[in-house]
Amino acid sequence: MSGFWRYMGRRVAASVVTLLGVILVLVTLFKFVPGDPARIIAGLQATPEQVEAVRKTMGLEQPVIVQFWQFLEKLGHGNMGVSARTGTSVISEIGQRLPYTLELAVLGTLFGAVAGILLGVFAARHKGKLIDTISSMVGVMGISMPVYWLGILLIMLFSVQLRMLPIGGAANLQSLVMPTVTLGVFSMAIVSRMTRSTMLDSLMQDYVRTARAKGVRESLVVYQHALRNAFIPVLTVIGLQFGTLLGGAVLTETVFAWPGLGRLLVDSINSRDFPMVQGIVLTFATMFIVVNIITDLLYSVIDPRVRLYD
């Protein structure tokens, strides 16, 4: 067996253990939810017999370890249960909403990565100058401003005052602009600060001075030599920010009425739809793990000196 497949086997095994831990935590937490989940799902007007029937159907009377095993059995057959709120399959409803969340998360990541890298490079090339000061201010503002507050400000400006963009929904491409910017600003701030820091270190290395002494164009020196060697830490931050964007998507999708998993998660929590909450959180955890594995594999593509496996 090659080193690549041994490495992937270890990563997949670790990912499975992580997901099992997530499932166990989800099942355990629902035992401590205030009130009777069966009563909440059945309705306040339901009879004791109806409440008991709901409890048995959902397996709420079983010990945690039994509920955990039952969930794994259903998951092995491609079944996450049935939504207590809508009565539809959890997997089918997640499948309908997942493309919207992926679209928003990918675009937000791209916006944050591209804008953050460009801003960080400009700041490093003009250390101590106006562009560096502006970059620092943008970084502080992007990190400090809550996602939902930025979303409301954008709605007030571009939808209410200027009437340029739709307030919410997913009717057309214009509907993507404000949610993407809202979701990507925090990532842009983090990426720009990391890019600036790593670029300042790279621009002081001997190979950069040698390239400049040979008369290589400054743009090639900066982007082909310095940025490429400084990109590994930046890539790590971008991969980690994808998980942060998934968390931010919950608020962003709620503010902009975006029909993704984040909004569905809020609605499910409010209605105590425990099967749906379990399915969405497990989906988020799986996406985060997959992105981190892809990020690790990209290390050796960007820098062949990085060896993840023998």
pLDDT tens, residue by residue, 7-34? 788 888 888 899 999 888 888 877 776 6
Q: Is 251 exposed, middle or buried (0-12, 13-18, 19+ CB in 10 A)?
A: buried
CA atoms within 13 A on the CB side of 169: 7
Q: CA dihedral defined by 263, 264, 267, 272, rounded to 10 degrees?
A: -140
CB 64 within 8 A of CB 31: yes
CA atoms within 13 A on the CB side of 309: 14
Going from the C-alpha of 44 to that of each of 41, 48, 50, 83, the distances in angstroms are 9, 10, 11, 18
Assigned fold of 97-302:
MetI-like fold (1.10.3720)
Percent of the chain past pLDDT 70, that is, above it, reads 92
CA distance 191 to 143: 11
d(CA 169, CA 181): 15
Burial class of 18 by CB neighbour count within 10 A (0 to 12, 13 to 18, 19+): middle
> Do 52 and 38 touch, CB atoms closer than 8 A?
yes
DSSP code string of 34-82: SS-HHHHHH-TT--HHHHHHHHHHHTTTS-HHHHHHHHHHHHHTT---B
The vertex-254 CA angle with 291 and 179, nearest 5°, equals: 60
pTM confidence score: 0.82
Over residues 204-219, mean pLDDT: 83
Give the other-Cβ count within 10 Å of 245's Cβ. Answer: 25
Q: Residue 94: is its pLDDT beyond 80?
A: yes
Measure Cα distances from 21 to 27, 240, 282, 285 in Å. Answer: 10, 20, 10, 11
Higher pLDDT, 151 or 308: 151
Q: Residue 310 pLDDT > 60, yes or no?
A: no
Q: By the 8 A CB rule, do 253 and 179 touch?
A: yes
Positive or negative, the CA dihedral 116, 122, 125, 131 is negative
For the CA atoms of 108, 110, 111, 114, the dihedral, rounded to the nearest 10 degrees, stands at 160
Q: What element of type H or E holds 108?
A: helix 90-125
pLDDT digits (tens, 9 = 90+) for 229-265: 888 888 888 888 877 777 667 888 888 888 888 888 8
When the pLDDT of each residue in the chain is averaged and rounded to a whole number, the result is: 83
Give start-end residues of each CATH 1.10.3720.10 domain in the chain: 97-302
In the predicted structure, residue 58 carries a pLDDT above the cut 60: yes
For residue 114, name the pLDDT band (cuts at 50, 70, 90).
very high
Residue with tokens 């991969």: 239
